[in-house]
Each structure stands twice: as structure tokens, then as C-alpha cells.
Amino acid sequence: MPRLGLVVIPILIAACGPSATSRPATSAPVEPATVAAQGFRATIHWTSHGVPHVVATDVGGLGLGQGYAQARAHLCEIADSVVRVRGERARYLGRGDGDAHVASDLANLHLGYRARAEQLLPSMSAETRAMLAGYAAGYDLALAQLAPAQRPAACRDAAWLVPITAADVAAYALSLQSLASSHFLESAIAAAQPGGGAGASIAPPDQRRGASNAWAIGGERTASGGAILVGNPHFPWEGDLLFHEAQLTIPGDLDVYGGSLIGVPGIQIGTTAHHAWTHTFSASTHMILYRVALSDHSALRYRHGDDTLAITPAIYSIAVRGADGTLVSERHTLYRSAVGPMLVTPSSPWDGPGGHAFTVRDVAIGGTLALDQYLAIARAQSRGDFEDALALHGTPFVTTTYADATGEVLFVDGARVPALGDDALGAWRFLRKVAPPLEEAWRQGLVIVDGSDPINDLPDDDPRGPGAFPIAAAPRVLRRDFVMNANDSYRFTNLAAPETLAPRSPLYGDDATRPSVRTLENLALLEPGSGAAGADDRFTLDEAAAAMLSNRSLVADRLRDDVLAVCPKPGRKTTPRSNACAVLARWDGRFAVDSRGPVLWRKVMARLAPAGTIPWAHAFDRQAPHLTPDGLTVTPDAIRAALSGAAAELEQQHLALDVPLGDVQRAVGPAGELPIPGGTDSDGVANVVTWNSFNATLLPRAPAAGTAPVNFGSSYLLAVELTPAGRTVRALLTYGNSSDPASPWYRDQLGAFARAELRTVPLTDAEIAADPDHRVEEIHSP
């Protein structure tokens, strides 16, 4: 093939936006009368840790209460996100370093979140419109009540703390659908100009995507005979992607408790009296990068079969604040093909006539919002009802794991996956064999195909997910023992599940380099005989939650003997290497705050697997999961050198070889640094914590703590047991229900996280009234 640009990117937003001639507004338009917030009312019962229990007579009132509660807890983060999605950063903050704010505004306008929201609002269901309007009214009410001195310091005097509208809430919700894909293409989209090849580089998907664990343990493996769900999403501990707890109740209609990402209404991970569910980032692909052949006569036309199609300009006017505070209007032109935005990076240039260019089609966004789906989930009375709700196709980039009181458990990868046909997939597989850049792109999660060949066009016949496979084609595993997901494909949901349930498209997950050691650890904990379920080998709720937070390391379990095998015999001369061996021999194999050995172990493994890929002697074998992967291919001398080098590094850092993990792995708490348990993906630990820049806000970051700081990982932990006799719900929100350091709820649960203690959630009227911090607040919109 001629020069093939390789774009290395994560995956997930839509190739849709305003028309080529539109000029999106640079400030909020008047709200349509059809979604005006009038007369919404709610009662909020506040309980310990700042959890709001919202009671209303309609979904508009639920939106009011949830918007109000979230704004009281996360005002700055929500406001910052609205400004970003409106395309108004430059209006308030100036050009930014390297024109970063201008580029952000242009990309968000070109991706069309706000324009699409305004377009879709009239056609949304009455309940969705009411909930959006109620949420905006609740946010505005909280903003109006908070005098500047009462607002969080991070945005106390910000000019961009302004009222919002239902269209703003809808636009932000649409932007979240791009969370694992086009959201990370913004700089490449903003730089796309004909003849350009110097656009921004983009980080690989593995550095950008979130992660999670999800367990649903069926009646065959529980002590009660009911089902248990344990959700453990790994998300940022600061910024725009925080979870917020709430219970939403309309008496006689719905009663749902759980967590939602701030900035949007509804419960996205949660439980009702009948069932519980959680989500994980899907291993599937959601976006296609098309390389198109340009016309010989124009860089603004490209070949498509026997035709040529236009690359159309879209002109945007944005307001830019100068250093003196004055606003200047600027006009910029970006471009889109028939399938989506054009993009440019150094390795995917936009040539002149007769060359090539790149455009993106992201099917993760394309249907309407997911509010109707989550309301249907809250009202579901059976697994059939729940699956009918999933059929609305409102989970664009996540899988769903479900448990109910009958003891059934279900896994569905309902993410939107590009519906490339069999012929197109066959051609793509062949080209990957003969064009190494295509194979390398796929190894990094990206599909590149020829956009000038109609064989690669996607169907648009399903309005719930244009361009995507229908939900009926999604991988689905129904069991009574267990299902689980840790961001690998459906093939590792349960190793005993028949693969006949699987779809044929590799875009649902190619497992050539899978499973991850975290997936293997999750499976190992759930398998019969693991010890995690006690002497009877049937899980209680406490045992399931404890297993998720056990901090056991599969990598250490499988490799520590190999490392210790090169150690000198006891009684010989003491050396740093022999001391390191003694520490690892005594280590409990866990990543708890008081474990002595994981700090040293990490440094040893960093030398044995410097690129993060463990050199297993025996690769994973599906027929022998208890034994594989196992062993190291490195030489004994290399292991000895790794031990000596790790010991020397700790000595240079003035740390003892057996320093407890909690002495170095820390996070900022409400009154100083706190020890944090857990490991990374490469440690093979289910409870993941790490440092990550997955934060789109411009707000101040919490300072790094310790030598292994944490600001990402286990976030909203939900453990639910469901039986015909009732349910028990336990939870832990690691960073607390407020992002304001002045709030009593800021990171108030980090201590409980270090102790692996989940709290029982009060959900009935009597339990809520008995909560020691119970108070009642009545609110209403104008």
C-alpha cells in the first residue's frame, strides 16, 4: 500500500455534529418552552457521608433533587464540564497555552454536542426532557443559594459559574458517550486542515481508557441461593469523571439506589429490590478510522466507489478573551467527510490532490440519550424487563453485568460496535497480514480501513445505534454460577461458558494477547476451591466483597517461587540480594497497606518485565487456567540481577527492603496523607489503584502523596445480595461524595477503603430515619 498513516488513539465518540454551514452559538441559547423547568419539587433525606435520598412525585422532581445534590457536592467540576462542551473555554480563559483552549472549543463545537442536544431535545421522551430540565433547575438552585464565599475555592470567583439549561445537561451527557474514543481525538480534529501533517500526537488507548471489575455470583455459588453483585469501577478520584451516590424514589413507581457520573441525572450503576447491575469498559471497538483517496483535482473531494464525495467545511465563530479582558470574535474552519470529522496527526497527514486523508466514524454516539434506558432499568420487574431496557442500546462503550433475586446472573456486551460486514472484515484481516502498520494499529485498539471502498460502509438502519451491530448480536452469557468482566472480551466471562454464544466479529474483542493478569486474578477468586468463599465454597455478601478487596496478586502467586529459586541457601553470607530474598519469602503475597514486600516486588518485576509484558515460560491455556500462565523465560542470572538492582534502588531511596506498602502508596485525605491498598493492572490485583491523568477539567489537581501516589482506581464499590426475602446493600465511595476539600464528605471514606470496610446503605424509610446524620430538605424550582 502507499504511505499508510498510523494513528494511535483510544476509542469512542460520534462522527456527527452540526451541518457544514452552521455557526454554533458561543453562549447558551434560550431554553425551548417544551423543556422549561416549571414547578418541580423534591424532598431530600440526607444521610451519613452526604448521600441524598431523593423523593418526588415525578422524574422531573428526581432530576431537580439529583441536580441540586450534585451541584452542592461538585459545583466546580460540573460547571467546568459545561463550559468545555459548550465550546466556551476561550471566552472565559483566553487562548490557553499553545492555543489549547481555542482547540478545545473548536473540537467540541465540531463534534457537535450542544448542537445535537438542541436538535434532539424536541424528539426525546417527555420523561427524559423533564429529567434534564429538572436537573438543570436543581443545579441552578444550588448555584443561587451558594454565596461566593460558600462556593468551593477552586471556582469561587469564576465568571463561568453561570446557570445551565436542559440542553447543556443533554450536551454533556452526549459528550460522555465519547469517553473512550473521539474525546481523545479532539486535538487531531481541531488541527485538521488540507495539506496538514503536523497535528497533535495522541496517546495509545491503554494509557487513556478506564477499567473496572464486575462480578455477578449466581445461586449455585452463594450461601443464600440468591445472587450477589459486586461492582468495582476503576475511575479517577478527581475531575469530571467522579461518581456520586444517590437514591431516587417515586412512591409506587420506582426506587433505585446507586452511583452516577456527575453532570448527568439517573442511576448508572445500582440496585432495585429486584436486581443489581454494574458496568465495565468493553474490550470491543467502537470507532473506524477511514483512509480516503483524494481526488486528483482537489484535496476537498475523495473517491468513494465510482463517485467523488465532498469534504465539507464548517465555519465556527468563537469568542476569545484577550490579556486585557476584551472579547474578540474569531472565525475558524474545520472539515468533515460524509462519515465524520477529518483529523490530522504527524502520522496521518492530509495530503494534497491525489494523496490521502483520514476521517473517523464513531458509532458510540448516534442514538439518543440513555435516560430512558436507565429509567426502564429502575422499573424492571424481571430479567426480561431488564433485557428490554438494554435493547434501547444506551450503553455505548460498556458491558453490563446483572444479578437478580432468582439467583440468575447475566453478562451482556451491549456496547456499540461498528457493523463491518463479513467481506469487509475478511479484507481487513488479509491487509493486516501484508501491511504491518494495520496490524500494529489493531494491537493498539484501532481499526483502519479504506474509506474509498464502499465495502467498508456501515449500515444506518438502526436508529438506536446507527452504524453499530444491533443489540441482538451482542455477546450474552446467562449463568447460575458466575459471570464476570475485567475489561477483556466476553470469552473470559466464565471459562465454562460455551463460545457458541459469541458473535463472529473480531471487533467485539480480539484476544491474541489476552487475558490480562487482572482478569486471571478475578477468575481465580471466583473459581470453586479458591478459598475466597470460605469452607463451604459458597459466597456470602461479606466474603464476596472481601475477595474483591483482598489485594491478592496473581503475578506473585505464579512467579514468586521462580524468583526465590535463585536465592542463596540460608546461612550463607548476608548480601542485599539475600536480604531481598528473605523479605519476599516472608511476604503474604498481597498489596494491603501493611504488607511488607510489594514495594520490593514491583521493583523486581520492573526489571524482569521492563516493557510491562511478563515473559511467561508457559502462556495462558484455557484448558489449564489454574496452572497457566506460569514461570519465567529469563535466566537465573537475570533474576539475581533484578533482586540486587531492586534492593539497591530502595537503599538509594532510603527505604527499607520490607517497607510497608502504605508507607509509599498514598493519597491526600481530608486531614493529610493516607495509606492506600491495591495494585496496578500489571500486579495482577483486582483492587486497582494508580496515578492517571484521565481528567478533562482545568481545575487544580490534588497534590501527589508518597513515592507511589494514587488518584485513580477503585472508586464506587457496590456489593448487593438479592434473595426473595429481600436485599442487603453495601457500598464505599473511596474519595467521598464531595470534591470540595472544605466539605466533611471530601475523601471521608479513604480510611474505610484502607481497611476494606464497606458500609451498609440505609434504603427503607425506617433505616433512613434512624441514620445518625439524617436531615430533611424540601426544594422546589421557580
Section 186-209 average pLDDT: 71
Dihedral angle over CA of 4, 9, 15, 19, nearest 10: -80
Distance between CA atoms of residues 738 and 238, nearest Å: 10
pLDDT at residue 509 in the model? 87
Section 177-202 average pLDDT: 84
pLDDT band at 27 (very low <50, low <70, confident <90, very high): very low
Residue 370, CB half-sphere, CA atoms under 13 Å: how many? Answer: 31
pLDDT at 1 over 50: no
pLDDT band at 428 (very low <50, low <70, confident <90, very high): very high
Domain ranges for the chain, please list them: 287-364+419-456, 554-664
Section 729-737 average pLDDT: 98
pLDDT at residue 210 in the model? 63
Run of H or E residues at 632:
strand 630-632
Nearest-CA neighbor of 632 among 657, 608, 615, 644?
A: 615
| φ, ψ at 341 (rounded to 5°) | -65, 145
pLDDT digits (tens, 9 = 90+) for 105-153: 999 999 999 999 999 999 999 999 999 999 999 999 999 999 999 999 9
Topology adopted by domain 554-664:
1.10.1400
Section 190-210 average pLDDT: 67
pLDDT band at 502 (very low <50, low <70, confident <90, very high): low
pLDDT at residue 224 in the model? 97
Q: What percent of the chain has pLDDT over 90?
A: 85
Nearest-CA neighbor of 277 among 329, 327, 215, 325?
A: 215
pLDDT band at 20 (very low <50, low <70, confident <90, very high): very low
- Tell me if the pTM is above 0.95: no
pLDDT digits (tens, 9 = 90+) for 684-715: 999 999 999 889 999 999 999 989 999 999 99
Distance between CA atoms of residues 121 and 166, nearest Å: 9
- At 164, the amino acid letter reads I
pLDDT at 334 over 90: yes
Higher-confidence residue of 536 and 9: namely 536
Distance between CA atoms of residues 608 and 450, nearest Å: 40
pLDDT digits (tens, 9 = 90+) for 572-588: 778 999 999 999 999 99
> What count of residues does the chain have?
782
pLDDT at residue 198 in the model? 65
Beta bridge partners of 279: 400
| φ, ψ at 546 (rounded to 5°) | -65, -35
The 10 Å Cβ neighbour count of residue 643 is 28
pLDDT at residue 28 in the model? 35
pLDDT digits (tens, 9 = 90+) for 555-566: 999 999 999 999
pLDDT at 387 over 70: yes
Nearest-CA neighbor of 706 among 660, 670, 748?
A: 660
Mapping DSSP onto H, E and C, the string for 525-573 reads HHCCCCCCCCCCCCECHHHHHHHHCCCECHHHHHHHHHHHCCCCCCCCC
pLDDT at 212 over 70: yes
Cis peptide before 265 (omega within 30 of 0): no
| 610 DSSP assignment | T
Q: What is the largest CA-CA distance in the chain?
A: 84
Provide the CATH number for the domain formed by 287-364+419-456 in this structure. Answer: 2.30.120.10
pLDDT at residue 196 in the model? 75
pLDDT at residue 476 in the model? 93
pLDDT averaged over the chain?
Answer: 91
CA angle 286, 288, 293 (to 5 degrees): 170
Q: Answer yes or no: are the C-beta atoms of 633 and 614 closer than 8 Å.
A: no
Run of H or E residues at 67:
helix 59-86
pLDDT at 650 over 80: yes
47, 633, 771, 774 from 50: Cα distances, Å: 6, 52, 11, 9
pLDDT at residue 362 in the model? 95
pLDDT at 2 over 60: no
pLDDT band at 16 (very low <50, low <70, confident <90, very high): very low
Section 196-213 average pLDDT: 62
Concatenating the DSSP letter of every residue in 152-169 gives -TTTTT-TT-----HHHH
Concatenating the DSSP letter of every residue in 717-746 gives EEEEEEETTEEEEEEEETT-S---TTSTTT
pLDDT band at 22 (very low <50, low <70, confident <90, very high): very low
Q: What percent of the chain has pLDDT over 70?
A: 93
pLDDT at 200 over 80: no
pLDDT digits (tens, 9 = 90+) for 439-486: 999 988 889 999 999 999 999 988 899 999 999 889 999 999 999 999
Q: Answer yes or no: are the C-beta atoms of 642 and 677 closer than 8 Å.
A: no
